[in-house]
Structure 1
């Protein structure tokens, strides 16, 4: 696995779709030097999304290769240990002066198709257009590279990932309703509640390519 560059404090990797395709994926496919060694090579379908390297709270980026589901087919095998990635919607064109690549959106489902349970894990899979119009079976390994952005969608009103972890790892505390000298009426629910908080980040232009500074 490639050595991954650690970002300086206050910076995060936040490239555009065009930068991901042109400056990273295209360079990877053609074995050109990358602007930064920030994206590791990981087979994203060998692990569930929560087991992939990196911080779960942040967007994670991986170079991965596509594995054909059938020997002579175009469909990719996206089954993991606990579920599978399912494409949703139409692929989006990535355009500079011309169409340079495509972006596919996938959602992770637990279980076996077609009865899987939808989760909030999202993947954006970037691919180049066919380099030499060759058939899938004749492509070289480099031509099978894709770039994946994986993140956990935050639904409105849903608990944050930090709060989910706290609930999972904490014990519920029950109060003694018969106790005397009880003055706190706000605790009459019988269970302690973990407060939910969210952190907003705003980004501005940076002095390094594809990196954005974080401001409080």
Structure 2
């Protein structure tokens, strides 16, 4: 998206607009729609390849937000036929921290997903 298009998109939002979806809303609305509809675009959520992106580059790739940003990112496989996730980047890797947190649907109490916290680690020399 070109800079001018991005500014137009930001300017169409009402003054004072804040994007603070719950974890459940991120999964049950944004992620489900992104998976099921190739044309779906979350106005506040950008597409980023986290394996080609350093943490300090993320604010510039965000569609909005100052301290919190939201992105769609495809999960890369470490091996073509395996299930392990590749989290390597050019200067290090994304490391999981803490335990995965379960996300439930507030209406049905059904488990809808997990939240994983990642932090950037440098490659060992």
Measured against aligned partners, the alpha-carbon deviations of 1:94-145 in whole angstroms (never above 9, x if no partner) come to 1112111111111111x21xx48xxxxxxxxxxxxxxxxxxxxxxxxxxxxx
Matched, 1:76 2:85: yes
TM-score by length of 1: 0.46
CA contact (8 A) 1:50 1:56 kept: no
Q: CA RMSD in A?
A: 2.7
CA contact (8 A) 1:93 1:102 kept: yes
CA contact (8 A) 2:34 2:41 kept: no
Measured against aligned partners, the alpha-carbon deviations of 1:26-77 in whole angstroms (never above 9, x if no partner) come to 1111118758522111112211011121378421111111110112221111
TM-score by length of 2: 0.76
Structure 1 unaligned regions, length at least 5: 117-216
Q: Which of 47, 51, 71 lines up with 1:45 in the alignment? A: 51
Superposition deviation, residue 81 in structure 1 = 2.2
Classify the secondary structure of the residue corresponding to 1:65: coil
Classify the secondary structure of the residue corresponding to 2:52: coil
Figure out how many residues of one structure are paired with residues of the other and give that number.
113
Measured against aligned partners, the alpha-carbon deviations of 1:172-197 in whole angstroms (never above 9, x if no partner) come to xxxxxxxxxxxxxxxxxxxxxxxxxx
CA contact (8 A) 1:39 1:62 kept: yes
More helix per residue: 2
Q: Distance in 2 between matches of 1:95 and 1:50?
A: 31
Structure 2 unaligned regions, length at least 5: none
Matched, 1:21 2:32: no
Q: Which has the larger radius of gyration?
A: 1
Classify the secondary structure of the residue corresponding to 1:21: helix
CA contact (8 A) 2:100 2:115 kept: yes
